[in-house]
Structure 1
Amino acid sequence: MTEATPTDDLAPQEPRPNRSGRRRMVPIGIGMGVIVAVVALVASLVGGSLFFYNADEAVARREALGDERFTLQGAPIGCSIIEGFNGEDPVVAFSVTFGGETVDIVHFGDPADLFQPDVPVVLDGAWVKGSVRVEGFDGVAADGWYFASDRMRVKHDNDYKNDEEYDQRLAESTAATDASGAVCGT
């Protein structure tokens, strides 16, 4: 037989110090971090989303929308497009039409690359009550409101037209009256 050593003693020993408090805090901290991240993500998605309205819907909801940002769609009226500057910044004033309604637009910044008459545009911005202050632009709607935009995208599809049809559409868009019946000032 071997001799017993103090480490081989089977007598009850003092329990180890309790470390479970620290171990419990780590999962709780991770869980709280995940909850905060999810709440921040949801808040940014909800706060960053804009409602989408066609021009006729936006006019119908103008009072309810107030100065809230939203996305507006319409087709630019060819005879209404005026490019200029607001100080040193480029600005484009034009009118769009959709569903029989016309909206005056002031876009702050360069127009989208494919911006042209009768090709639908999608704009982010808000309603502004007052007259448009862009030299040479009287507005087609001229209803005391305009849509102030800071982001423009051109909506296009894969339905390309031949050159003859394009020339005809271009001539129609530069005439004094557009397809919706809106008349540009002369």
Structure 2
Amino acid sequence: MIVMTYSVNRLPHYTKADLDEITGGLDDPFEVAAFGVRSRDKDVHFGVRHQGRLVAHAGLVDATVSVGARRFPVAGLGGVVVAPDLRGQGLARLVVEAAVAHARGTGAEFGLLFCLPDRMPLYRRLGWRESPDGMRVEQPGEAVVDHPLHTMWLPLAEGAVWPAGRARLHSLPM
């Protein structure tokens, strides 16, 4: 049995061509287009290359969330994708863990992500928890809508506990 080892690197940029390199040009690689929610570009990128090809990615954004009168910084995780032919080898875990390690140094209290139900077990194994109250997010044209995907959070600061109540992300989602 051959065991592959992979390393994660911070990427200087991430483009649509990079996404296509990972996914083979799938039309809806995150399977969320039908929800009609527009997401923002990520600011910081982590990737894995295998035999010269980009095969996995995770991105981060700095954002602000409010729950009631409380407003706090979060590190938004998004754009997590692994090449279809290399899924099941721990690549998502590697890029997510690299992004989280970076996020811990940003001053954000929490990591925040949105995901489909079938992806939640991966994030739970990595310590993420679901927010039962969901999230309102900004969309173009000053609209604020309920995000249709599941909201998950991860404590980044010691003792951080996600507050109860309906939350609002003060930007486009990740």
TM-score if structure 1 supplies the norm length?
0.24
- Structure with the higher helix share, 1 or 2: 1
- Structure with the higher strand share, 1 or 2: 2
Larger RCO, structures 1/2 (Cα 8 Å, 6+ apart) = 2
TM-score if structure 2 supplies the norm length?
0.25
- Highest CA radius of gyration, 1 or 2? 1
